[in-house]
Structure formats: C-alpha cells, structure tokens
Amino acid sequence: MNLDDVIIILCRPGGSGNVGAVCRAMKNMGLSRLRIAGTPKDSINQKEALERAVHAADVWEKTRFFGTLEEAAAGCTLLAGTTRRRGRLRKQVSLDPRELASWLEEKPGTAALVFGNERTGLEESELDLCNIAAHIPASDAFPSLNLSHAVQIYAYELFRALGGADRAPVKGAWVPLTRDETGELTDAISGALASLGFYRHPGRHIQERFLRDLISRAGLTAREGRYLADIFAKTARMSRKKDE
C-alpha cells in the first residue's frame, strides 16, 4: 500500500473550518483523497474551509460527498474507525496510529481512515462498518482531540510508514561526519593548537584521540565541522599576528 491508496472519510463533520484544516493536514503528509459522509456540500461554508485549507485548496476541490458512510466506503478494501471509546458493541482490539500505519504498510488494496463528528465521534453503527479500530493515546484528563489534529497525527504516521518521508528530502538534514572527515577535523584542530605551542609536553596523541571521540559522539555535520575548524584556525592566525 502507498499514500495514494489511503482515503480519509469524515462522518458528519460540523465545522467548515475543521474540514479545511483537515485538507491542510492531509496535503502536509501527501494524502489527497477526502470523502465526507452525512454532511451535504452546500452546508459547508466554502470560504471558511478554503481559509483554513491554506494551500490545500486542491484537496477540498476534489472532495467527494456521500449520504452515508456505507456509500463513502465504496471501493475500499478495509476501513479503520478512529475512536477512543470501548464497549460491548465496539471493537475489542484497537491500534494506535503508528501500529495502524505499520499494519497497513503490507496490506494491498485501498484503506480508509474514518473519523466521526467533532462532538460525538463515530456512532456505533458507523464503527460497526469498520474492520478495525484505532485510537490516539492521550491524557485521561482530556482525551478528546480536535478533528484536524487527529487527522494530522494519523497522516504523519502513514507518511512515514508508506514511504512519504523517503521522497521528501529536507534541506539541512542532519548527516554526521564520516570517520575520515572526523579524522581530518581532528588533525586540523590539533594542528592549530600545535601552532599555538599547546603541545609543549608529550601527550598530543592522547588529546587527539579525545578530540576524535568527542567529535564522533557529538555527531557534527560537515558544516559544523568546518565552522569549528575555522574557529581554531582563526585563533592561531590572530596569535601569530600578535607575536609579529
């Protein structure tokens, strides 16, 4: 399964702004298929929805509307109903967002994540149509999440599990120095210290080993390594000018 195989279904959403915020949360994480059940399109304030969608107007424009969840689920291989409630008539097994995303990773077909109304959540009849339940662990003091926030959490875990993160390089990603690069940085710092007369007594190799291990554990990036080397080099140059 990949991100294109995931559908978000909102059952009876009451807030136009929330619908727009859901569009934004979905687009942030590479999801684009939104279906709404039980809430007519003309009852949603499009202006308010688009204001909250920000740059995800395309998700809103492609949203499909249905009278019931059963109609909205047409063509789906399985449905995961999101709920924090348990009971005799509710699902006895529930996965958290990360577990659900991992479980879906190896599943073929099309999966829908089903979210209930902001105030009342999924009705028992709606959850009964779902094949599995999912929940977001939260504080007992206030376990109910905003609709768009809940969608964002599930969407993030799906994004990571279904390969979205692999296709979204981040500028400035943390890539630590290699062993060879760490050795070069250690030599540069040691050389600068030597030019300052730091090693007047035996023990330079011990200090170099200390620096190498410290730099390795710190996980410096190439840019950070160059910056650190420049500090020591500049210090050495300033010292030489002072002695001239």
For 145-161, give the DSSP string.
PPHHHHHHHHHHHHHHH
**Mean pLDDT computed over every residue of the chain:** 91
Instruction: Kindly report the backbone phi and psi dihedral angles of residue 78, in degrees, each rounded to the nearest multiple of 5, phi listed first.
Output: -150, 155
Q: Which residues of the chain have pLDDT under 50?
A: none
Note the pLDDT of residue 241: 79
Note the pLDDT of residue 210: 94
- Which secondary structure element, helix H or strand E, spans residue 204, and what is its range? helix 204-218
Note the pLDDT of residue 240: 81
Tell me which fold the domain 3-167 belongs to: Alpha/beta knot (3.40.1280)
Note the pLDDT of residue 202: 86
For residues 218 and 92, what is the distance between their CA atoms, to the nearest angstrom?
46
Lookup: tokens for 138:
């939260």
Domain ranges of the chain: 3-167, 179-243
| 218: amino acid identity, one letter | A
Note the pLDDT of residue 200: 85
Instruction: Kindly report the backbone phi and psi dihedral angles of residue 213, in degrees, each rounded to the nearest multiple of 5, phi listed first.
Output: -65, -40
Prediction pTM value: 0.77
Note the pLDDT of residue 90: 57
Contact 36, 151 (CB under 8 A): no
Instruction: Kindly report the backbone phi and psi dihedral angles of residue 209, in degrees, each rounded to the nearest multiple of 5, phi listed first.
Output: -65, -40
Instruction: Kindly report the backbone phi and psi dihedral angles of residue 92, in degrees, each rounded to the nearest multiple of 5, phi listed first.
Output: -90, -20
Strand partners, 11: 37
Encode pLDDT of 175-203 as tens digits.
899 999 999 999 999 999 999 888 888 88
Contact 44, 19 (CB under 8 A): yes
Contact 160, 31 (CB under 8 A): no
